[in-house]
Amino acid sequence: MTQKRFAAAALLAFAATTAHADDQTFVAGTVPVPPDTWAFMITHEAGNFQDTVLFTIASPYADDSFRQLVVTAADWDMFNINGLHFTLLSGSSPLATFDGTAPFKTNLPDGEYILKADGSADGMFGGAYSLVLQLTPVPEPASWAMLAVGVGLLAARRRSGAVPA
């Protein structure tokens, strides 16, 4: 009987070391535009983990069609986390993969997205990392054209020798 208990305890211990430590799901809602951000410190018990962040990009302005998503999980905000890796998905389709060593930026249209993070918390008491999601507006082509026309007019006025009143 004691051999069966020992075998069961050994099996449970092995299963505990190979399973994910504590997978977590976060609902970020609509990602805000500056100066606001969605930021969260995510902590884990020791072991492997896979986090899921569900978020939506919705334009606060009717004329915006794309925004730049900025995802930050820099080294200075990690504590005992190894191999932090992200996958950005739209539905079940992967859009991008990146590691957590530098900010990641990509242009995305309005929609619902999933950000998966996986890694290993290898500290005696686990580990932690911070995650920041923020949107920045992407200038429309018409804005770039208007800027170019304005700079051209200023250059032409300067060449003609006209002095502002």
Give per-residue pLDDT as tens, 11-47: 333 334 444 457 899 998 888 777 778 888 888 888 9
State how many domains the chain has.
1
- CB neighbours of 52 closer than 8 A, spacing ≥ 6? 23, 24, 25, 26, 114, 115, 116, 117
Q: What is the model's pLDDT at position 30?
A: 87
Beta bridge partners of 153: none
Residue 97 placed within a domain: yes
Question: Per the domain annotation, does 127 fall within a domain?
Answer: yes
- Asked if residue 29 is part of any domain, the answer here is yes
Are 77 and 129 in contact by the 8 Å Cβ rule? The answer is yes
- Determine, yes or no, domain membership for 13: no
φ, ψ of residue 67 to 5 degrees: the values are -130, 155
pLDDT tens for each residue of 102-133? 788 888 888 899 999 999 988 888 888 888 88
11, part of any domain: no
Note whether 132 and 73 are within 8 A (CB).
yes
Q: What is the CATH number of the domain that holds 35?
A: 2.60.120
DSSP 62: T
Tell me the pLDDT tens digit for each residue of 60-99: 654 555 567 888 775 445 688 888 899 999 999 999 999 8
Domain-embedded: residue 102: yes
For residue 39, the enclosing domain spans 20-160
Whole-prediction pTM: 0.67
